[in-house]
């Protein structure tokens, strides 16, 4: 909650922009991971300065790939929050995060995403070194902050893209087109938003249980 309040206060400032962009990165990475897990091919990824992104895929199971972006971002937010409760788990999360950044660096289709990956690789590495050579466990607070930002931004992004305004190219609208259920993009946005909010609440509850 200590991170949630500053995030809300500074939401529209440039200070949070890099962390919003890394949330978009994890959103697109979740699409790519869902594609690979359903035997598809990832042809490229892009993240743009306007906090938009696209993942180009071929094959795979489309109705799994589409919701994986929003829900995957929320899931990774929960994983990061819970990882910050233990020093070893923090190191594992940071290592996996750096590995993901390195992999995406080679499949990125625009230079903005490449520079974003390079910037965060250097940032996480420097923070990790500081933690190892000082008594201040700064890495766990960075991982926690990234987790909180992912959880908050994914819920906000679902609301902004699918509920408050209809974006015809959104994942929810595309999912509504292929899903046989009589539910439009707004309906799927509400469902995904509710699931994302459950991930956020679960991370807070489980984190408190672990810390207690």
CA distance 140 to 132: 12
Give residue limits of the domains in the chain: 3-211
pLDDT at 12: 79
Evaluate whether 27 touches 53 at the Cβ level (below 8 Å): yes
Identify which has the larger pLDDT, 10 or 125: 125
Confidence of residue 7 (pLDDT cuts 50, 70, 90): confident
- State phi, psi for 45 to the nearest 5 degrees: -135, 145
C-alpha angle with apex 19: 206 to 45, nearest 5 degrees? 105
CA distance 17 to 53: 14
pLDDT at 15: 82
Instruction: Count CA atoms within 13 Å of residue 15 on its CB side.
Output: 8
pLDDT at 166: 62
Residues 78-99: tens digit of each pLDDT: 999 999 999 999 999 999 999 9
pTM over 0.95: no
pLDDT at 57: 93
Confidence of residue 28 (pLDDT cuts 50, 70, 90): very high
Residues 36-61: tens digit of each pLDDT: 999 999 999 999 999 889 999 999 99
Place of tokens 């906090």: 51
């Amino acid at each position: 909650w200590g991170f949630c309040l500053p995030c809300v206060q500074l939401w529209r400032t440039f200070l949070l922009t890099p962390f919003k962009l890394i949330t978009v990165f994890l959103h697109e990475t979740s699409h790519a991971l869902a594609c690979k897990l359903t035997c598809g091919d990832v042809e490229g990824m892009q993240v743009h300065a306007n906090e938009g992104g696209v993942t180009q895929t071929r094959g795979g199971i489309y109705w799994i790939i589409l919701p994986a972006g929003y829900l995957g971002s929320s899931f990774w937010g929960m994983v990061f929050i819970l990882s910050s409760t233990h020093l070893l788990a923090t190191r594992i999360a940071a290592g996996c995060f750096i590995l993901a950044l390195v992999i995406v660096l080679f499949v990125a289709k625009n230079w903005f995403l490449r520079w974003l990956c390079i910037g965060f690789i250097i940032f996480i590495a420097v923070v990790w070194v500081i933690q190892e050579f000082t008594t201040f466990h700064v890495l766990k607070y960075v991982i926690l902050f990234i987790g909180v930002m992912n959880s908050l931004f994914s819920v906000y992004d679902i609301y902004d893209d699918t509920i408050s305004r209809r974006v015809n190219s959104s994942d929810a609208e595309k999912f509504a087109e292929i899903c046989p259920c009589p539910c439009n993009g707004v309906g799927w946005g509400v469902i995904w938003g509710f699931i994302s909010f459950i991930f956020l609440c679960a991370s807070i509850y489980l984190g408190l249980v672990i810390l207690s």
